[in-house]
Structure 1
Amino acid sequence: MTGIEYVRGDATAPRGKGVKIIAHVCNDLGGWGKGFVLAVSRRWPGPETAFRRWHRERAGNDFGLGAAQFVQVEPYVWVANLVGQRGIRTARSSGVPVRYEAIDAALVRLADRALELGASVHMPRIGCGLAGGKWSRVEPLIAERLLARGIPVTVYDFGA
């Protein structure tokens, strides 16, 4: 098993050949408008449209913590909307919205889809931006759910 490849760059422009899935964490309120999703929406409108529809129609689908939605945005590129955040952080909120158990469950679904597509997975440090999570808690989940199943993972740190 190899480790996570860490690179500087933009996760919406994944490196390498073959099928790629760009994964990121979303909230369970259906909100889309801050953080990494802005970069996703600037590049492709489809993931936001699909996420908002998925949330709006949640009474009849699997939307909720731990769920994953996959949206094809280019012939060899997919975006994975992973619901791993309970609500959003506000000035009045205490604690952080990240839910590690939900990220873990969504990573299982991501791994299944990556294996089905023969894809590598690309992401920012999911759950660690606006969701307020700690990479020291997320990284082992990625290792267990993706790397242990032979799925290559690249994590992008934006900048230079």
Structure 2
Amino acid sequence: MKQENRFVADLYHLLSPFMDKDKDLYLCMDGGGAKHHAASEHGKLEDAVLPDIWFCLVGQEKHIGIEAKVFDSNNLSFRQMQIQSWRSDGNGIYTPNFWVATNRELTEYKCWFHKTMVARLDTTMSTVDNVSLSMSKYPADHESNTIQELALFILQNQYKSA
């Protein structure tokens, strides 16, 4: 988990100059905190399952979600609630646009568009809480050796789709 938090912090640092500071921003709002705010009468969250980064770019109305993972060989770990919320028949409100991953050394970076990742999520029948899925048949939409290239890929593709 330590590497994932560092990865999210570094990616946030690179993307933050392009974020609209007047719109909602959620950063690493996992687990109990999200559940508490989603259940609160005055809470802004409508769902307890959130990507690691949820924000708006300057000049855009639609929020962007980025879910971060650390890969081990070619496997990614998912929580069952993420799979259930974000697969094609899921009912999650805060669906990630981008799924990003790094190795433990933070020297390799990968990114999948949600449409690529949802194809993988749809294939698992596992019901255990933490699921490890091989990505070998689902190549990343982008690979790089620097987090700066990863951030640029996200910005370029998000502005293209706006």
Q: Normalising TM by the smaller chain, what interval?
A: 0.3 to 0.5
Larger relative contact order (CA 8 Å, sep ≥ 6)? 1
Give TM-score scaled by structure 2 length.
Answer: 0.35
TM-score, length-scaled by structure 1: 0.35
Which has the larger Rg?
2
